Structure 1
């Protein structure tokens, strides 16, 4: 699975809308991406990477593309 596909899957699963998230989605375009959803996305990324993210990395997650970058896109 590519980082783009993995990012879409992580965000979709975290926001309870699997298969409905595209790589171009961001915080402003997905209603379910609220503070709780954001923390679920962070947990999904950390699980995939096997490590914790820094505060700066967590704050930088504003789009699915950014998730893909963190996953090694």
Structure 2
């Protein structure tokens, strides 16, 4: 049986590593019994974040109802 997590919020941070910027994401959620769950930081360069945003926007647009012309 899979436990469904309820996303509460996401943290975002930026930092420099070897002079290169990284953007980090971390999600916080609650599991069954309101037990808190926190993921590890996932750090990406800005160009990867841009691709992620584009993918998310495309996915959201696919979920929107089609407008008839």
Normalised by the length of structure 2, the TM-score is 0.32
* Higher alpha-carbon Rg: 2
**Structure richer in strand, relative to its length:** 2
Normalised by the length of structure 1, the TM-score is 0.30
